[in-house]
Amino acid sequence: MPERKFTNNHYVPKWYQKRFLSDGQDRFFYLDLDPDIVENNGVKYKRRKLLKWGPSKCFAQDDLYTTQWRSLKNTDIEQYFFGKIDQSGEAALDFFLDYEIKEGLHESFENLLRYMSVQKLRTPKGLQWIEQLYGVQDRNQTLILLQQLETLHCAIWTECIWQIADCSESNTKFIVSDHPVTVYNRKCFPNSKFCRGASDPDIRMIATQTMFPLSLDKILILTNLSWVRNPYQNETALRPNPDFYHQAVFNGTSIQKGRMLSEEEVMQINYIIKKRAFRRIAAAKKEWLYPENYLNSTHWSKFGFERGYLLMPEPREIHMGGEIFFGWNDGRSEAFSEYGHRPWQKDYKNDRRDERDRIALDRFQGEFAILQGKEWRGWSRDFGNEGPRSDSDEFHDITISKAPKAMRKAYYKYRRKV
């Protein structure tokens, strides 16, 4: 008989859950968003919504990953496939929790990407999505497909702008859901066709952003470069080079750090996590489970300056260009565009797109400078920069001059009053 630890499957690992408990705490407030209706002695009743459970009982299901061929059960997927991914993933999360450019970056980056990609697929929501996508009803087939798709999201996420945000100054901390790799697209409302059932907005959509809480206080946010450069385009169009499987290059110096989230922003993020959960969420404090009770507005597209900019990285850190060249000792060389195109591919150079995005980026940087102020939301190590960063008076005025005319007029009018 297989050991119970391989048949009681945690689709959100216990080690990950423990990151969201306060010191000395061993149980969550665990909320079922759609409790089962059960019958006992002919009487039907709905199970309790709110429980106090520890990580050993939360986000788990018996035999979720057990394959069965006739009477023979096999737990190798839980024991070996998820066992290895969880082990390397836990170490990778620790590396990025206090991110610095240091030895081990390459290995940690690859392990984190693989862990996140698999984590998005291994939940009940992810497994149902695989079944819908491939039209399969047999769980054995679904689990085989999951293993084949383990790197599905990696290339797209590699080419995103990475931001590690911090809520240590907020009384409210991050919650954890039964689908912890969460996506948000300001155009894809919770009841839209993109979000029904087990569906998520495609991560290749220009405005789709991925967020993954790393602990109570830290969260990783991934944003498509094309969206940061031009947030005025069709949110549901596909990003340049949308092929899931292509070679991609990651620049570890471009990760933005230093963003300190406000209480309102943390609650907005928790609200997104809750609305994109499949059925269950958990929190160290009961009130964190109900962010909608404390928000001024739950309008999906207006989080962040009333414009849907909640998860945006600092655009003043972003620049045009970004081609990457490699040279080898034998004289060979390779080149990649910032979107992963190779020189022989059609869109390796796209002057029309680049000019459109350059104009849009200038405008967005000006708009953001007005909304955010002189102090930057975050900063990276690109070009040897160190944070915190802020605009000088001269640079601030130059940046603002690129903002839309109506915004500039309103801003200068306000500044004269002040």
- pLDDT per position as a tens digit, 153-166: 999 999 999 999 99
* Structure confidence at residue 2 as a pLDDT band (50, 70, 90): very low
pLDDT in tens, 33-62: 998 877 677 777 778 899 999 999 999 999
pLDDT bin (cut points 50, 70, 90) of residue 329 is confident
Question: 269-273, 278-282, 398-402: which has the minimum mean pLDDT?
Answer: 398-402
d(CA 194, CA 200): 6
Confidence band, pLDDT 50/70/90 cuts, at residue 1: very low
Cα distance between residue 418 and residue 415, in whole Å:
5
Q: Assign 26 to helix, strand or coil.
A: coil
Would you give the distance in Å from CA 11 to the centre of its chain? 17
| Contacts (Cβ under 8 Å, ≥6 apart) of 212 | 116, 180, 181, 182, 219, 220, 222
**CA separation for the pair 318, 361 (Å, rounded):** 8
What is the rounded distance in angstroms from the CA atom of residue 166 to the CA atom of residue 144? 37
Please name the residue that has the structure tokens 């069709």.
Answer: 234
DSSP state at residue 145? H
For residues 9 and 302, give the distance between their C-alpha atoms in angstroms, rounded to a whole number: 38
With b meaning 16 or more CB within 10 Å and e meaning fewer, what string describes 55-66? Answer: beebbbeebbbb
The residues pairing with 391 across neighbouring beta strands, listed in sequence order, are none
Q: How far apart are CA 277 and CA 291, in angstroms?
A: 14
Residue with tokens 């954890």: 176
Tell me the pLDDT tens digit for each residue of 147-199.
Answer: 999 999 999 999 999 999 999 999 999 999 999 999 999 999 999 999 999 99
Sorted by where each begins, the domain ranges of the chain are 4-317, 350-417
> How many whole angstroms separate alpha carbon 59 and alpha carbon 176?
10
d(CA 4, CA 328): 51
In whole numbers, what is the pLDDT of the chain averaged over residues? 94
Provide CB contacts within 8 A for 306, sequence distance 6+.
Answer: none
User: 297 pLDDT exceeds 90?
Assistant: yes
Q: How many of the other CB atoms lie within 10 Å of CB of 133?
A: 12
pLDDT at 29: 98
